């Protein structure tokens, strides 16, 4: 069975056991073509509203963010790494369906106190050790709220003077058909096949507790 970018069945193929070795590489190529991918070469900061086991076994799909559950480089220089090259990832929350299992939080660079308080350490430990991927359960830097996390992270990106950071916000790695991008990425959207603006530019707003409003 091949799944599409919405985890819906895209195709069912019957393969004889004797033919499987010859047929499977083609099915794998087709499956990879259906993956939901971010349409940019480089992203300075990726804001992910939620992660969870119902999104991906790794909380965030490693194919989307190009990071491994066994660790990743935090270097800001691209150094030949494949697209999309994401310098920093900020995770804002967990899905209710994951019941505190925040495996995959170790793939992020930044989170908040709210997320840390919601983690079920026992569930994470069992999952990470069973999967032989303890890096995936490591807790990243965390700040009091979304506002502080964004300010501190954007201030440490080493963006060249006169340039604006390339920021993308997604609901989760399964939901990338709609995303928010900063003005620095507009030139890559304008006139590009498969991408279109769905609304005018606007400023992000925060609740009284410093949480970014859920508008992505």
**What residue segments make up the domains of the chain, in order of their start?**
2-33, 42-189
Helix, strand, or coil (residue 119): coil
Q: Is the pLDDT of residue 216 over 60?
A: no
In whole angstroms, what is the distance from residue 78 CA to residue 136 CA?
Answer: 22
Mean pLDDT of 123-152: 97
* 91 in Cβ contact with 48 (< 8 Å): yes
What is the DSSP code string of 112-176? EHHHHHH--HHHHHHHHHHTT-GGGG---EEESSHHHHHHHHHTTS-PPTTPPP-EEEESBTTB-
Q: For the chain, what is the mean pLDDT?
A: 93
Q: Is the pLDDT of residue 184 over 60?
A: yes
Q: Which of 4, 2, 41, 6 is nearest to 178 (CA)?
A: 6
Quick one: pLDDT at residue 215? 59
Mean pLDDT of 117-128: 97
Quick one: pLDDT at residue 213? 87
Phi-psi region of 59 (alpha: psi -120 to 50; beta: other; left: phi over 0): left
């Amino acid at each position: 069975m091949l799944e599409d970018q919405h985890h819906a069945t895209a195709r069912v193929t019957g393969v004889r056991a004797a033919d499987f070795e010859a047929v499977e590489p083609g099915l794998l190529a087709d499956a990879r073509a259906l993956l939901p991918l971010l349409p940019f070469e480089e992203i300075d900061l990726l804001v992910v509203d939620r992660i969870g086991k119902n999104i991906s076994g790794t909380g965030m799909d490693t194919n989307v963010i190009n990071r491994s559950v066994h660790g990743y480089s935090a270097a800001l220089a691209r150094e030949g790494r494949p697209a999309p090259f994401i310098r920093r990832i900020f995770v804002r929350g967990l899905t209710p369906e994951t019941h505190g299992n925040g495996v995959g939080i170790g793939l992020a660079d930044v989170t908040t106190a709210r997320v840390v308080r919601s983690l079920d350490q026992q569930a994470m430990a069992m999952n990470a050790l069973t999967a032989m991927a303890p890096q995936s359960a490591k807790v990243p830097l965390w700040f009091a709220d979304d506002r502080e996390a964004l300010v501190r992270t954007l201030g440490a990106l080493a963006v060249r003077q006169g340039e604006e950071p390339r920021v993308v916000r997604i609901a989760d790695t399964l939901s990338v058909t709609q995303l928010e991008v900063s003005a620095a990425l507009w030139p890559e959207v304008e006139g590009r096949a498969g991408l279109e603006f769905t609304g005018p530019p606007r400023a992000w707003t925060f609740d009284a507790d410093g949480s970014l409003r859920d508008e992505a």
